[in-house]
Amino acid sequence: MMKKLTIGNVSLLIAICLFIAMFVGGSIKYDRFGSVSTIFNLFNDNAYLIIVATGMTFVLLTGGIDISVASNLAFTCVLSAFLLDKRWSALVVIPLVLFIGTFAGFLMGYCIQVFKIQPFIITLAGLFFLRGMCAVVSTVSIPINNAFYKSLALSKISFQIGGSRAKLYYYVFIALAVVLIAWFVLKYTKFGRYVYAVGSNEVSAELMGIDVKKVKIAVYAISGFSASLGGFVFSLYTLAGYSLQNMGLELDAISSAVIGGTLLTGGVGTVIGSMFGVLIQGIIQTIVTYQNLNTWWTKVTIAALLCFFIVIQRIIAIRAEKKKA
């Protein structure tokens, strides 16, 4: 328990302080950076990634990994655009794509647990399969002209703060609701305690009477649902479906969770930290844009941050283990 609290709290605190420091530094150096509009745009541009990272956190907390989320998201977008282009009702398309994404996650979790296959291998197969299905549906970008989708995509709340005008799109509230619900589930429900217990020590969890198989299958289903819901939000963001959308998004989701304090070995982490991990990546990208640098500098900076947070987490874990001994 001491290890869990120490690593989790310190990592989360570092992530929050880093975000504040980067925002303050950017505000000092760049004009119009330190505004509410900048904060709102971080949420507007990364709402879908916040949702995907939240689902990924559940998987990582059990010591697993899901690298199929980007393909799941892309397939949701492509299939939605294709069906809407065929004049299907949005009220049918949305539940359908969410069910398919959730079932894909459930199926991968089931194969991992029943057939005792490494999560990386099964989710890699899911990555290839879902990305391939995107191309089967369509190899070209399909625009979304559905009135319901357009209405949701353009709906926003505008604020007049000082001399600047800021806007927050409605789909951001979907992301915030997902984070809030996930935080409540992990902190206050029996299932949440089971997730942490399985990630901390699977053998001990089984001895406590926890059905480890059900818990692990459930977290992959949650990850699949989050990926498909993120795909729905991304389709609102772009109003299009394309088979090559968000290549490498799974790495962004994993790095966001790690930067936010989630251990890849499981048992430690919060969805709030993962959200701040996404925001940190977003603010790095904003600074790179202000500097007129190549976008690959975003990846370089994130890689450096990952190394930093992994080292910090390891140092804290070693010190906690020594104290416990």
Q: What is the structure's pLDDT at 292?
A: 85
Q: What is the pLDDT of residue 293?
A: 79
CA distance linking residue 122 with residue 131, whole number of Å:
14
pLDDT value at 8 more than 70: no
Mean pLDDT value across residues 24-30:
91
What is the rounded distance in angstroms from the CA atom of residue 243 to the CA atom of residue 75? 7
For residue 294, report the phi and psi dihedrals to the nearest 5 degrees: -65, 140
With b for 16 or more beta-carbon neighbours within 10 A and e for fewer, the 259-277 pattern comes to bbbbbeebbbbbbbbbbbb
1/110 Cα distance (integer angstroms):
30
pTM for this predicted structure:
0.94
Average pLDDT over residues 15-25: 92
Q: What mean pLDDT is predicted for residues 263-284? A: 93
pLDDT bracket for residue 5 (50, 70, 90):
very low
Strand duo 240-241 + 164-169: pairing: unpaired
Distances from the Cα of 205 to the Cαs of 94, 108, 196, 201, in angstroms? Answer: 36, 22, 9, 6
Residue 325, pLDDT score: 61
The sign of the torsion formed by the CA atoms of 241, 243, 249, 253 equals: positive
**Whole-angstrom Cα distance, residue 288 to residue 321?**
39
Domain boundaries, the chain: 48-274
Percent of the chain with pLDDT over 90: 75
pLDDT tens per residue, range 122-155: 999 999 999 999 999 999 999 999 999 999 999 9
Exposure string of 45-66, with b = 16+ CB inside 10 Å and e = fewer, is: bbbbbbbbbbbbbbbbbbbbbb
Residue 234 pLDDT greater than 50, yes or no: yes
Q: What is the mean pLDDT of residues 58-63?
A: 96
**324 contacts 2 by C-beta, under 8 angstroms:** yes
Specify burial of residue 10 (Cβ count, 10 A radius: 0-12, 13-18, 19+): middle
- Convert the pLDDT of each residue in 156-185 to its tens digit: 998 877 667 789 999 999 999 999 999 999
Distance (Å, rounded) from C-alpha 88 to C-alpha 5? 49
DSSP 8-state assignment for residue 267: S
What per-residue confidence (pLDDT) applies to 115?
Answer: 93
Note the pLDDT of residue 171: 96
User: What is the per-residue pLDDT for 324?
Assistant: 61
Give the pLDDT of residue 45. Answer: 95
Task: Give the three-state DSSP class for 187.
Answer: helix
The whole-number pLDDT of residue 163 equals 64
Most confident of 1-5, 8-12, 146-150, 159-163: 146-150
Spatial separation of the C-alpha atoms in residues 53 and 227, rounded to whole Å: 9
- pLDDT at position 279 is 96
Summarize the confidence of residues 261-280 as an average pLDDT: 93
